[in-house]
Amino acid sequence: MTTDLPIAAARPQPLSAGPDPREIPSWFDDESPQGRRKRRLKRFARPLAVLGALGSAAALWYGGRPAPAITIVGIVSLALGVVCGVALLRRLLSAGHPVIGIARTIVEEAVGTRLSVLLVMLVVVALPTLPLVLDPGERLAYRLQFFLDWSLSGASALLALITIALSCSSVCGDIDSRRIHMALSKPLQRWEYLLGKWLGVVLLDLLLVSLVGIGVYAFAEALRRSPAADNADRRAVEEQVLTARASARPVHPRQQEFDKAIEAAITQIRNDDPALFDKDPAAAHRRIFAQHVFLWHTVSPDVVSSYLFTGLEAARLRTQVVQLRLQPFADNSSTSTAEVRFALWLNERPYPVKQGKHEEYVFAAGPVHTLELPASAIAEDGTLRVTIANRNMLMPGDPAPTSIGFNPGEGLELLYRVGSFEGNVLRGLLLMWAKLAMLAAAALAAASWLGLPVAMLASLMVFAVAVASGFLSAAFDIYTGVDGGNPTLTSMLRLRATLLLERVAKFEWWDAIKTIGSYAADAFLSLIPSFGDYDSITQVATGRLVSLAETAAGVCELGLAYPLLLLGIGWWLLERRDLVSSSS
């Protein structure tokens, strides 16, 4: 005969344990005045601590120190949010289904685990304290970007550690202490056991991510009301940081002629060197196309280059300014501190014009620069033609004036407002939660087969690879000498097979071993999704749009598809594990 009680109620007590010391009958209470006073103080300790903290905050506020006052209120608010959120989770997980019971046990374990409580309190304390370390003499836009980037990145890393530690310790602790025998003696399958663990972890993560989002948004709004350095700084806060901007990449103003020129160049090279196209026609076509695009993004001293941005109808009506983000390079200069000088036209009109004179821009070559352009310059059809004329002077030692080059892509793009900061933060938090859901599934799968230290190490390795996937992929390609620029699977397999055979034929054994190692490295990297593909933290901190499509794709991939796959692997491993030998 089974009961509808949660699994948490079925935990066995150690054989040597007597009555629970926390459940002392009332007739054993100390009824002396001192004993009653201690019980009253214990009962009202937390409310008194909260009132004392709020009183200190009020004193600091009226004493002319608003920053520490806001910090204290933030710590108290987040701590109360954790307490209330855990109580809400207990209420939600009070149903009698075994999976719900398992989920509630992991919430109780999180509350009772010192490491989890320590990490949560670190988030609660560090998040409100971060604004205190910001330099008040810095520009407000930079301070806001720093706060958003570091607060969200730090909270994400700490929540990842909480997720991994809690998931691994829960399963490994159940196996080592034999609690899992009692749980599985109920009408509960092993896949339901893992599903309940994952459900409890992701609900706890959802609570913590929500509190982080509320705290970040509240402190960002408090910083927003701080004095700005000047009007340009205030405008940058509103138009470049606390917003959601889409980017537009330029197209050639004479696109058909540009395409015909590329096709003519391809035909000419094909006639001159047929073997190049016979070996890999697609790669040769891409290489020639990239060369022409790069030449188009290079402004010679005797050339005026134009770049057409389209689809700006919403930007023309929604905002007053748009941002032209450019990263110029002095291509022909022999000096490392060269400057570039150029003139700008917007839809064939000179810009900027001050006191009847067309002014020029002078920027340092290398860094990224942002120009604010009036949205009124956009044509009614939503197009903006940006024309750049090279005005560089002849530098000493150079035979000709320096050319100005822009990297195609992020080296020259137009940013414009399409949404609100609040919606951007919400979508970014959903992606953060999806990453934690995948880590929880990976940690549970590892703990289903491995011991606690090894399971945590494997989970941390998955986390590190997911965060640094792009860097590791490029590093492996550089170390092994394999070109990773071609993204197709068949071409990479063909390339590596050819390299391996060539190195074996030349008896280059060390290079051959590195090539084989690249197979294993790329195979491992391909199994783990890259968190860099959903870098919502950087997007939120820089005011770039976290789109709804990107959020939906990230939640489906990281929050559903990978957890289902990893939990399936964990269930398969747990089904084949001898729990009796493991626990003994």
Give the model confidence (pLDDT) of 80-135 as tens digits: 777 788 788 888 887 777 888 888 888 888 877 766 667 677 777 776 777 767 77
User: Using an 8 Å Cβ cutoff, are 328 and 404 in contact?
Assistant: yes
Annotate 63-83 with b (16+ C-beta within 10 A) or e (fewer): eeeeebbbbbbbbbbbbebbe
Sign, CA torsion 529/123/456/196 = negative
The arithmetic mean of pLDDT across residues 550-572, rounded, is 92
Task: Walk across the sheet containing 369-374 and list its strands.
Answer: 244-248, 412-419, 321-326, 369-374
Write out the H or E segment, with its range, that includes residue 417. Answer: strand 412-419
The per-residue DSSP string of 305-341 comes to EEEEE---HHHHHH-SEEEEEE-EEETT-S-TT-EEE
Q: Report the DSSP pairing between strands 349-351 and 369-374.
A: unpaired
d(CA 312, CA 55): 52
Percent of the chain with pLDDT over 70: 71
d(CA 369, CA 373): 13
pLDDT tens sequence across 132-151: 677 777 888 888 999 899 88
User: Using an 8 Å Cβ cutoff, are 307 and 386 in contact?
Assistant: yes
Structure tokens at 341: 């000088």
pLDDT tens sequence across 42-80: 665 566 666 666 666 677 666 666 666 667 777 777 777
pLDDT tens sequence across 248-305: 899 888 888 888 887 887 777 777 766 666 666 666 777 778 888 888 888 888 778 8
Is pLDDT above 60 for 209?
Answer: yes
Higher pLDDT, 393 or 376: 376
- What is the pTM for the complete model shown? 0.78
What domains, with CATH codes, occur in the chain?
A: 7-243+422-470+531-583 (no CATH), 255-419 (2.60.120)
Torsion of CA 13, 18, 21, 23, to 10 degrees: 80
d(CA 409, CA 250): 9
Q: What is the pLDDT of residue 8?
A: 41
User: Using an 8 Å Cβ cutoff, are 393 and 304 in contact?
Assistant: no
